[in-house]
Amino acid sequence: MRRFALALALSLPSHAAAQDATPDAPAPEADGPGCGDAVEVDRFRLLRQLTLDLWGRIPTEAELRALSAVESDDVPESTLDALLDGAEFETFLSRHHADLLFPNVEGLEFVSPAALVLPAQYAGAQGDPTRLFNLFVAFYQRRELYAPCKDEPAEFDADGAPIFEEMPDGTRREGYVLVEPYWAPGAPVKVCAAEADIAPRGRSGVDCATAQGMFSGECGCGPSLEHCADPYVIQTLQGSLRTQMSRMVQGPIREGRPYTDVLTDVHEEVDGPLAHYYKHLAAMSLDPLVLVPPVPAAALEGVAYTDTAWVRYERSPAIHSGVLTSLSFLLRFQTARARANRFYNAFLCEPFQAPTDGLPSPNDACSQEPDLRERCGCKYCHTRLEPAAAHWARFAEAGSMYIDPAVYPVYEPRCAACAEEPDRECDGICEKFYVTEIGHPKQRPFAGVLKAYEFRGRDEIENVEAGPRKAVEAAVADGRLAACATTQVFRRLYRREPTAEELRRDLPAWATEFQTGGFDFRALVKRLVTADGYRRMVR
């Protein structure tokens, strides 16, 4: 009760503040100002507003006592600096950028289903339901997709292969072995003997450390099940990806680096689960396409799945650009156009919008144009969107792999042959990355060319080769990045759109101050919360 009385007393205007009020000011209505009315807030309400906005909580009793002891009608600058320097401010950074970047990867199969191990209870198996099995091994070796092994220890022949028993239901089943999985060292689990196989190659010679090996059903999960993952591993990886993006945002601001590093840094931080993913599971991911991780597996040797420390590594190649080429961003926005659209919306405040009068009939001749820059209706957006999307064109769509020109040249003769001879069988590389289907005469000159280069002019090709960093640098040079960042922070702190007067007078001045001050994000937030408009809000 005493604490409630103290908080109530400290939330009231100070005696000095009451004496300083303008004598002839109109008296407030008996019920006080209405919700959202602009009035000057006292220091206690201002502290409450600041802690809610910057830390996501109300002030503590100790913080209110400290403010009460200060002989001032304002929140001291030292208190505000402490709010901006505190660890809790990083939560503000994460939430603000999560709203900009939508870092949700929960619905994505970035771990191949061929590398997934499930408990036997998933198949409704009798006996101990915790033994692990794999659907592809079950289908190809036990003759039934949902067939786990028997709930008894495995037996092996003279060559060390598990002995399968023919079952009345037409399946063949082997027993289990005990394995310590990489995600739980020291805690052995039952694993079906075929899935526990550590042979580097399958019966046909397929490499078991590849997606093809796991999809063949001939391969086990390798030592400590390193090539496989259970559902809890996938949940852990999802959490690591969310944390990684937060750290990519927080790091430059915490370390006093320019805000632009959030969008251009070639480094990323990796913990144990992500290190294991890069070393052993990325090579299994074909849908979405990951295969080659941004941090080379060799650099991660010695990092265990159970390691919780976050370590900074340089990504390869140097075309990587901050959060804009992070695994989370590339997987969340699966096409070059979607990636460019999110960047333009979140960091340039320039959405792509269709014409207000709608699109013309699909039967019009111009609606058949294969180049979206020329297709009627579409061209209103795509004359801007296509050059913007080119910055991401060297990163795989529906995936994150960098399309290395040393491996994937701009022109591939065998893929051109596929395009010229429709009955010719085309390999997966040509079908996924190259123009192999000619649906319009204007596509013919691009037969066998990387899809990333189709219809691209010289300027757009420069964007392809330079990557997203070029788009960021252009937006820094012309002031669009600073202006949009200022507007986005304003919207978050003020919880409204700026007025015409603020757009004319305040925001341009604050954006210029942000840019000329070296893109100091903390200084930008401080500038906005010390402005009169912020201090006249009622929450």
The model's pLDDT over 484-495, given as tens digits with 9 standing for 90+, comes to 999 999 999 999
DSSP state of 165: E
Q: Given a cut of 60, is residue 459 above it in pLDDT?
A: yes
343, two tokens:
């960047």
Q: Given a cut of 50, is residue 114 above it in pLDDT?
A: yes
User: Are 146 and 90 within one domain?
Assistant: no
User: Are 92 and 174 within one domain?
Assistant: no
Mean pLDDT score, 350-375: 80
Residue 200 lies inside a defined structural domain of this protein? yes
User: Are 134 and 62 within one domain?
Assistant: no
Domain count, the chain: 2
Burial 444-474 (b: 16+ CB within 10 A, else e): eebbbbbbbbbbbeeebeebbebbbbbbbbe
Q: Given a cut of 80, is residue 233 above it in pLDDT?
A: yes
Residue 393 lies inside a defined structural domain of this protein? no
Burial 121-140 (b: 16+ CB within 10 A, else e): ebbebeeeeebbbbbbbbeb
- 303-347 pLDDT, tens per residue? 999 999 999 999 999 999 999 999 999 999 999 999 999 999 999
Q: Would you place residue 199 in the very low, low, confident or very high pLDDT band (cuts 50, 70, 90)? A: very high
Q: Given a cut of 50, is residue 13 above it in pLDDT?
A: no
Distances, alpha carbon 531 to alpha carbons 18, 485, 494, in Å: 22, 17, 11
Longest dimension (CA), the chain: 102
Residue 185 lies inside a defined structural domain of this protein? yes
- 52-69 pLDDT, tens per residue? 999 999 999 999 999 999
pLDDT at 25: 38
pLDDT at 196: 98
- 254-264 pLDDT, tens per residue? 999 999 999 99
In degrees, to the nearest 5, what angle opens at C-alpha 430 toward C-alphas 429 and 434?
120
User: Are 119 and 96 within one domain?
Assistant: no
Cα(469)–Cα(315) distance, integer angstroms: 14
Cα(86)–Cα(522) distance, integer angstroms: 11
| Axis crossing angle, helix 480-494 with helix 89-101, rounded to the nearest 10 | 110
Residue 187 lies inside a defined structural domain of this protein? yes
Mean pLDDT score, 393-417: 95
Cα(374)–Cα(389) distance, integer angstroms: 16
Indicate the residue among 68, 101, 134 that finishes a domain: 101
User: Are 48 and 146 within one domain?
Assistant: no
pLDDT at 168: 95
Residue 62 lies inside a defined structural domain of this protein? yes
Q: Given a cut of 50, is residue 200 above it in pLDDT?
A: yes
- 503-529 pLDDT, tens per residue? 999 999 999 999 999 999 999 999 999
Instruction: Give the range among 2-16, 89-103, 337-351 with minimum mean pLDDT.
Output: 2-16
User: Are 146 and 82 within one domain?
Assistant: no
Mean pLDDT score, 435-456: 94
User: Are 72 and 128 within one domain?
Assistant: no
User: Are 151 and 97 within one domain?
Assistant: no
Residue whose pair of structure tokens reads 């590849």 in the numeric block: 210
Ramachandran bin of 479, using left for φ above 0, alpha for ψ from -120 to 50, beta for the remaining angles:
left
pLDDT at 37: 52
pLDDT at 479: 98
Residue 7 lies inside a defined structural domain of this protein? yes
pLDDT at 2: 34
Q: Would you place residue 356 in the very low, low, confident or very high pLDDT band (cuts 50, 70, 90)? A: confident
Q: What percent of the chain has pLDDT over 70?
A: 91
Q: What is the pTM of this model?
A: 0.88
- 406-420 pLDDT, tens per residue? 999 999 999 999 988
pLDDT at 201: 96
pLDDT at 505: 95
pLDDT at 363: 76
Q: Which residue has the higher pLDDT, 411 or 376?
A: 411
Full residue range of the structural domain in which residue 66 is found: 2-13+33-101
User: Are 141 and 196 within one domain?
Assistant: yes
H or E element in which residue 417 lies: helix 413-420
Mean pLDDT score, 436-455: 94
User: Are 128 and 159 within one domain?
Assistant: yes
Indicate the residue among 224, 252, 272 that finishes a domain: 224
Q: Helix (H, G, I), strand (E, B), or coil: what is residue 319?
A: coil
Cα(120)–Cα(130) distance, integer angstroms: 6
Average pLDDT, rounded, for the chain = 90
User: Are 216 and 129 within one domain?
Assistant: yes
- 469-487 pLDDT, tens per residue? 999 999 999 999 999 999 9
CB 436 within 8 A of CB 430: yes
Helix segments in 289-351, DSSP class H: 327-332, 336-347
- Rg of the chain over all Cα atoms, to the nearest angstrom: 30
Q: Which residue has the higher pLDDT, 58 or 364?
A: 58
Cα(226)–Cα(197) distance, integer angstroms: 11
Indicate the residue among 74, 101, 128 that finishes a domain: 101
CA nearest neighbour of 179 among 163, 199, 193:
193
Helix segments in 255-378, DSSP class H: 261-264, 272-276, 327-332, 336-347
Residue 119 lies inside a defined structural domain of this protein? yes
CB 210 within 8 A of CB 114: no
Residue 297 lies inside a defined structural domain of this protein? no
Cα(77)–Cα(74) distance, integer angstroms: 9
Q: Given a cut of 80, is residue 17 above it in pLDDT?
A: no
Cα(365)–Cα(308) distance, integer angstroms: 59
User: Are 8 and 74 within one domain?
Assistant: yes
